[in-house]
Structure 1
Amino acid sequence: MPVSSRRPASLAKLGRRWLYLVHRWIGIASCLLFAMWFSSGLVMIYVPYPSLSPAEQLARAEPIDWRAVDVPPPLDTRQWPQDLLLEMRDGIPVWRIETWEGERRTISAHRGAVLAQVDAGYAARIARRFGHASVAGTERLARDQWTVGGGLDQHRPLWKVTMADPLGSELYVSSSTGSVVQSTTRRERLWNWLGSVPHWLYPTVLRQDNAAWRQVAMWVSGPCIAAAIAGMWIGILRTRLGRHRFSGGRASPYRGWMLWHHLAGLVGGGFLIAWIVSGWLSVDPGHLFRSIPPAEAAVQTYAAADQVPAVQIDRLATAGAGAVRARLTDYANTPLVVLDYGNGRRTTLSAASLAPARATIRAIAAAARRRQAGASLIALDRLTTPDAYWYEVGGLPRLPILRLQFDDPASTWLYVDPATGEVLATADRRRRIYRWAFDLLHKWDLNALTQHRPIWDLLLWLASIAGLVTSISGVWLGLKRLGLKRLQRRRP
């Protein structure tokens, strides 16, 4: 045989050998991780990571004591701040302000009232009102397992208040705003130790350093991707479906645990590869999916009324009776007062006349064009049902919603509240690709599935069971091989 014909054959043999070695030895560790990820993922379907939703915050908030409000909103005569709202704080109405420079302030809305310091006693009072139960203890901390994410950085240090209620609730009070910003129950904490914490590689000691956590997530997932692809490739190579079957007419040459591993890998291998690759993409390696935010000046232009009207507090007190929050906004150059109630109801009033009012579509479109630096608006739709990018897995998002599509270089889509003009979400080309590359492949969160449960649950369970069989059988086979190797080394 010529040398040139022997070389490809030897290279193919060497490549196949390395394929088996990679799958065999990396697969032992990766199968342990896969088994953990599949089982914890099933837990997360039903018990997500603890969070305090805006709806729950409103439901437990105190109604505004309008009789005590005698300080007008602290408005600049030239420009409204980025955020300005009125709510109760420890029995006193307060104005909360966030400037365009990022400064946050809380000012008493009752002349002469002194705001209490956010100490242990304050935290206990707030938690008692919020949780409707007595307090068992308070603790000041920077972060713990349920407050480790960066979203709470502006509220640190936190006061953790343990409640003496049947749910074993723990409430976290912000040292900056004095509000409850996180809530957990005994059930949530227990199941999350079996769900989100292992699934996300989320122990506090690691997650508190975001850069280190991202690196660990990427480098742990990488070898698992290699093992999964190698296993799928081997599974296909070792399958015979035509006339040249194995003895007894079998499609697989294996028996026992190897047969289970082979068949389950063929059935669930595609899902496993899609899942681990999308999991790796979840931390956005190389920031491939990072959006370029619009210029701050453009955002201010979107939310900057030409005139700042004086809000009449006495008339607002009548119009807002029973409200738990009053927010002054000027989105789309339309000054409004947005009243939120504990039952979820919302009312929008003109800031000048306090008559019912809404932002107009014309005003929203004009302001959105300025926000997008003059890009052309190529489509404007009013959605009454979720679309592929405005949706929620556990229910329905806020509807109706306006979807504005632009022809700017990033191909930006804006999702805008038609009542207030507030931009609730932005989806440029990169974020839309990320939605399919991560969310769909990792969560199977198509509206056709999530809006028709338990079909979604059933499909996830079936795929996860195939993955668990593949993983557990791989662990068992790996342990057997390691035990056999150890015995062979001990033989004289």
Structure 2
Amino acid sequence: MYGSDASRITAAGGPVRLILRSWPPVRRWLYWTHRWLGVIGCLMFVMWLLSGLVMMYVGYPSLTAAERLAGLAPLRTGQARLSAADALARLPPEVREQAPRRIVLEMLADGAGGTAIPVWRILDAKGRAHAWSAVDGQPLRAFGAEQALWIARSFTGQSGGHVAETLQRDQWTVPQGLDLLRPLHRVEMGDAAGTELYVSSVSGEVVRDTTRHERVWNWLGAVPHWIYFTPLRADAPLWRDVVIWVSGICIVSAVTGLVIGVMRLRLRERYRNGRRTPYSGWMRWHHVAGLVGGVFVLTWVVSGWLSMDPNRWFQRAAPDSAGLARWHGPLDAAALKLAALQAPMPDARELELLSFDGRLLLQWRDGAGVSRVVDAATGAPLQLGEADIRAAAGRMKPGDAITGLQWLQQEDAHWYSHHNRRVTPVWRVSFADAAGTWLHVDPASGRILGTSTATSRVRRWLFNAPHSFDFPWLIRHRPAWDGVMWVLSAVGLVVSVSGVVLGWRRLRKGRPS
């Protein structure tokens, strides 16, 4: 490289000469950076890959809709005396100015004997919970430890248990989405599964459940994977910065490793030992596995880094509350007559009031999670057609043309089930607005089940696809998806574990290079 050929090349001009002169320092920087950042990077990769495998089967504890409905007592509408309109009228005047997010009638445990009463629950526009007894109209607030125990026993159907503590947050309730429901009562049920429930002191709702199995496996799964330790995660901006910077360091480690790996590979002229790699032992494993799985490791960590939305590239716009109000139209709660209320299913656990185009709708859900939506005036099921969707879309975004209206009977690359089940069939509405908005609409209720923009769809391919491999053709055949994830993770672990061994050996020598 530095003989006559190099002299002939450098005579070509200044830029080439500058590159050749600077190459040795650049090469030293590559080796030094990969060697020392790799000590941190490989440790993180081992942790992320192993914890990611755990998360394939045990997710972070949450109270699913199915679990919540199964824990509610069968709904007894005949006991209700307070109407939905009267419950809304009891909201503070400043709260009534905006349409509420949710109006629900359900049962609430009201005593140690397991008795339950119907209650109206209203979630206002700012996400604050309000509740009133539907029997006597009294407001329900400030639920104490004794009431929390009654609620937990009714929810689980068990007679034991005790309130272990009342807390603001712990490892399983740290996300900020629960902030408006704190403090929380943690109830230990004392059963074989080690069930623990968290009951809100504000609303009296069970907001989270965990089992011993979930808690143990999450210390090996989501907690280390997301760096989700309570003191750090409680400060959301700090947690986000830590994850972004740690991921960034690992990206540099992976990129420099790939560059060095390609530099040291000989495909035509082999090394003296006849191999294409100059290394042996652990170093050889690291080099070969890095060439095979390095791209996967790199794309995996880059996609994880992108999930934290660095520089706010994928920041979502605030919900268009005015547009949503126009989509649904006014909710005429006074049209609901409690005396004539009949559930269309035998095991109804919840009644939610909805509206579409000014029509009052009733959505019933049973203990198995089955849902039925009927018109409050006629009792007939709702089935929205193309004309209904076009009219609602025109009301919601009057200045933007509708570019597409699709009837999706099957899932596709942008509407699919993976860890959460998606409703099908749905209507997909596309708008010609600056954001490239799509809506996915439930034809049985008129509810907007999901929104996306051009930016969020790009993020789907930059994060979800390379990080979770949630390609529709793969996740529809779950054993195949598992196999792909295990094989790729195994290759990544060979790269990472060999890097940890090499880093440990170098640290033991105690000498930089």
Helix, strand or coil at the partner of 1:277: helix
Alignment match, 1:82: 101
Q: 1:404 aligns with which of 415, 418, 429?
A: 429
**Is the contact made by 2:314 and 2:459 (CA closer than 8 Å) also made in structure 1?**
yes
Q: From the superposition, tell whether residues 59 and 12 of structure 1 become closer, same or farther in structure 2 (CA, over 3 Å).
A: same
Q: 2:75 aligns with which of 42, 54, 64?
A: 64
Letter in structure 2 aligned against 1:407 = A
Helix, strand or coil at the partner of 1:329: strand
Confirm whether residue 347 of structure 1 aligns to residue 372 of structure 2. Answer: yes
**Is the contact made by 2:385 and 2:443 (CA closer than 8 Å) also made in structure 1?**
yes
Out of 116-125 and 11-20, give the one that drifted further.
116-125
CA deviation string 1:324-357 (max 9, x = no partner): 1111111343320111111222221112233333
Q: From the superposition, tell whether residues 312 and 226 of structure 1 become closer, same or farther in structure 2 (CA, over 3 Å).
A: same
What's the offset of the Cα at 1:111? 2.6
Alignment match, 1:53: 64
Confirm whether residue 230 of structure 1 aligns to residue 230 of structure 2. Answer: no
Helix, strand or coil at the partner of 1:279: helix
**Is the contact made by 1:294 and 1:371 (CA closer than 8 Å) also made in structure 2?**
no
**Is the contact made by 1:94 and 1:108 (CA closer than 8 Å) also made in structure 2?**
yes
**Unaligned ranges ≥5, structure 1:** none
C-alpha separation in 1, matches of 2:510 and 2:24:
23
What's the offset of the Cα at 1:153? 1.2
Alignment match, 1:38: 49
Alignment TM-score, normalising by the size of structure 2: 0.90
CA deviation string 1:55-109 (max 9, x = no partner): 1111221111223112221267999643211111121111112334655321211
C-alpha separation in 1, matches of 2:146 and 2:333:
39
Q: 1:217 aligns with which of 243, 266, 269?
A: 243
Confirm whether residue 202 of structure 1 aligns to residue 221 of structure 2. Answer: no
Q: From the superposition, tell whether residues 378 and 11 of structure 1 become closer, same or farther in structure 2 (CA, over 3 Å).
A: same
Alignment match, 1:245: 270
C-alpha separation in 1, matches of 2:370 and 2:166:
35
C-alpha separation in 2, matches of 1:433 and 1:281:
11
Alignment match, 2:473: 448
Alignment TM-score, normalising by the size of structure 1: 0.94
Letter in structure 2 aligned against 1:61 = L
CA deviation string 1:148-167 (max 9, x = no partner): 00111121111110111110
Alignment match, 2:168: 142
C-alpha separation in 2, matches of 1:101 and 1:349:
28
Letter in structure 1 aligned against 2:355 = D
What's the offset of the Cα at 1:483? 2.2
C-alpha separation in 2, matches of 1:81 and 1:353:
24
**Is the contact made by 2:65 and 2:369 (CA closer than 8 Å) also made in structure 1?**
no
Q: 1:14 aligns with which of 7, 25, 32?
A: 25
Q: From the superposition, tell whether residues 435 and 113 of structure 1 become closer, same or farther in structure 2 (CA, over 3 Å).
A: same
**Is the contact made by 2:82 and 2:137 (CA closer than 8 Å) also made in structure 1?**
no
Alignment match, 1:272: 297
Confirm whether residue 189 of structure 1 aligns to residue 200 of structure 2. Answer: no
C-alpha separation in 1, matches of 2:61 and 2:348:
27
Alignment match, 1:24: 35
Alignment match, 1:418: 443
Letter in structure 2 aligned against 1:185 = T
Helix, strand or coil at the partner of 1:454: helix
State, as a whole percentage, how many aligned pairs show the same letter: 43
C-alpha separation in 1, matches of 2:351 and 2:40:
54
Out of 372-381 and 276-285, give the one that drifted further.
372-381
Helix, strand or coil at the partner of 2:504: helix
Helix, strand or coil at the partner of 1:330: strand
Q: From the superposition, tell whether residues 80 and 288 of structure 1 become closer, same or farther in structure 2 (CA, over 3 Å).
A: closer
Letter in structure 1 aligned against 2:77 = W
Q: RMSD between aligned alpha carbons? A: 2.3
Q: From the superposition, tell whether residues 7 and 71 of structure 1 become closer, same or farther in structure 2 (CA, over 3 Å).
A: closer
**Is the contact made by 2:167 and 2:184 (CA closer than 8 Å) also made in structure 1?**
yes
Q: From the superposition, tell whether residues 321 and 305 of structure 1 become closer, same or farther in structure 2 (CA, over 3 Å).
A: farther
Alignment match, 2:417: 392
Alignment match, 1:439: 464
Confirm whether residue 104 of structure 1 aligns to residue 101 of structure 2. Answer: no
CA deviation string 1:193-230 (max 9, x = no partner): 01110110100000000000000011111111111000
Helix, strand or coil at the partner of 1:355: coil
What's the offset of the Cα at 1:394? 3.5
What's the offset of the Cα at 1:293? 3.2
Out of 413-422 and 361-370, give the one that drifted further.
361-370
Helix, strand or coil at the partner of 1:193: helix
CA deviation string 1:249-293 (max 9, x = no partner): 311111111100001101110001101111111111111111223
Helix, strand or coil at the partner of 1:88: strand
C-alpha separation in 2, matches of 1:179 and 1:186:
21
C-alpha separation in 1, matches of 2:67 and 2:279:
55
Q: 1:93 aligns with which of 110, 114, 118?
A: 118
What's the offset of the Cα at 1:386? 1.2
Q: From the superposition, tell whether residues 24 and 115 of structure 1 become closer, same or farther in structure 2 (CA, over 3 Å).
A: closer
Helix, strand or coil at the partner of 1:140: strand
C-alpha separation in 2, matches of 1:6 and 1:114:
81
Total equivalences in the alignment? 487
Letter in structure 2 aligned against 1:393 = H
C-alpha separation in 2, matches of 1:456 and 1:471:
22
C-alpha separation in 2, matches of 1:358 and 1:236:
59
C-alpha separation in 1, matches of 2:34 and 2:231:
31
